[in-house]
Amino acid sequence: MTNGSKRIITSMSVKSKDINWNNYYSNIRDKCPWSAYAYMEGKLFHTQFKSWNLAVQNESMMTPMKLWAIAYLDCPFSVEEMDSWVEQRNKEQTHTVYYFSHPEHNPNGRASPVPMLIQQRADILDMARKGVFKSGIEGGFCPDKMVDNYIKTGKVSGGTRGTWKRTPESRARSRATMLKRNTPDKNE
């Protein structure tokens, strides 16, 4: 579709696998400054949306897996349906914060190219808002150590990477574990 000289991409024509997510998160830094860092560090996990119930089940997995957030891509729901579910779920619990992004709902000019449900740990969101990650991002510190340091001391401090390095193999293991847990049961 076109609108004057601008091409409008509808959610039906874009597939999440074709999106350069590094680029997308870099472009929304003014609205969500930590998303690019979390994505590049493997703390923001992407998976295909399967069901609302699976998202609720995954709430308890994020902390043990040291994930900061999960983005459920290609949600097959309208803006109104996603908004209603997110609002209700955020009222029902306090340890996870839900957001949604939808190409047909773009109030701040930063909507995702595909509909997605974002599930974020409330403690990580609180730390980000307090500036816990600012020096660590700039210094290239280990995200897990930054979180651990803040939880133990209550102080904003980086965590040197030391010998710990996020390797493609460790990212693949994390993703494989998450995918295995996200595989629907045949009895569902």
What's the pLDDT score for residue 131? 81
What's the pLDDT score for residue 56? 93
What's the pLDDT score for residue 23? 92
User: Which pairing describes strands 6-7 and 69-73: parallel, antiparallel, or unpaired?
Assistant: unpaired
What's the pLDDT score for residue 165? 46
What's the pLDDT score for residue 170? 54
What's the pLDDT score for residue 132? 80
Domain positions in the chain are 2-130
- How many angstroms separate the CA atoms of 87 and 17, rounded? 28
What's the pLDDT score for residue 43? 93
**Which residues are within 8 A (CB) of 101 and not within 5 positions of it... i.e. 6 or more apart?**
110, 111, 112, 115, 116, 118
Residue with structure tokens 């510190």?
A: 141
* Positions of E strands within 4-134: 6-7, 44-48, 69-73, 96-101, 116-121
The whole model's pTM is what?
0.74
What's the pLDDT score for residue 174? 53
Q: What are the mean pLDDT values of the chain's consecutive 10-residue runs (188 residues total)? A: 34 75 90 87 94 93 93 96 96 94 87 95 89 73 82 67 48 56 48
What's the pLDDT score for residue 39? 92
List, edge to edge, every strand of the sheet that includes 44-48.
Answer: 44-48, 69-73, 116-121, 96-101
Helices and strands of the chain, counted as H and E runs? 8, 6
What's the pLDDT score for residue 169? 61
